[in-house]
């Protein structure tokens, strides 16, 4: 499985079968895709973490394989996000943007820290995403 993202005119996340080369699925978004990362959460499984450029400058989370959006931060930066990198434990996302800011975001921490089902089911809002700090 390979996930790729489209630019300013495509605005689509594509999922590919790496054995056959066939596209398996896609997610149409409202902004260009600047990075894609695979995250794994306790209880919900895999999530695709996408960062976006114009016009939203946002961070989006999509559950895999349902492709449902589980969270979003719109206008995460004042200008387009150029890249995002997920930490090895999938808890922190670092983003850098054209506004010359490097930001760190805590992802999935309610899943990691909580043992109850309520926190795991709270994936339909952005409570499990929070900004850690700015450098600049």
Q: Which structural domains are found in the chain, ordered by start?
A: 2-135 (2.130.10.10)
DSSP state of 120: H
The percentage of residues in the chain with a pLDDT greater than 90, rounded to a whole number, is 65
Spatial neighbors of 21 by CB under 8 A, at least 6 apart, are: none
The mean pLDDT value for 117-130 works out to 44
The mean pLDDT value for 26-50 works out to 91
Cα-to-chain-centroid distance, residue 17: 21
Query: Over 50: is that where the pLDDT of 134 sits?
Result: no
**pTM attached to this predicted model:** 0.79
Query: Over 50: is that where the pLDDT of 125 sits?
Result: no
**Sheet with 102-107, side-by-side order of all strands:** 81-86, 92-97, 102-107, 129-135
The mean pLDDT value for 64-88 works out to 94
pLDDT of res. 131: 57
pLDDT class for 41, splitting at 50, 70, 90? confident
The residues with which 109 forms a beta bridge, in sequence order, are none
Report the distance separating Cα 29 and Cα 8, nearest Å. 11
**CA 114, 116, 119, 120 torsion: positive or negative?**
positive
The residues with which 4 forms a beta bridge, in sequence order, are 14
- Tokens coding 73: 């931060």
pLDDT class for 97, splitting at 50, 70, 90? very high
Report the distance separating Cα 48 and Cα 97, nearest Å. 20
Q: What are phi and psi of 54, to 5 degrees?
A: -60, 145
């Amino acid at each position: 499985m390979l996930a790729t993202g489209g630019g300013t005119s495509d605005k689509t996340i594509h999922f590919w079968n790496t054995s056959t080369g066939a596209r398996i699925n896609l997610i149409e978004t409202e902004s260009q895709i600047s990075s894609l990362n695979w995250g794994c959460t306790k209880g919900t499984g895999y999530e695709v973490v996408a960062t976006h450029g114009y016009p939203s400058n946002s961070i989006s989370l999509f559950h895999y394989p349902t492709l449902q959006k589980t969270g979003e931060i719109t206008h995460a930066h004042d200008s387009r996000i150029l890249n995002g990198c997920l930490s090895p434990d999938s808890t922190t996302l670092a983003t850098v943007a054209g506004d010359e800011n490097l930001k760190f975001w805590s992802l999935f921490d309610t899943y990691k820290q909580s043992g109850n089902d309520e926190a795991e089911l709270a994936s339909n809002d952005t409570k499990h995403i929070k900004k850690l700090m700015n450098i600049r």
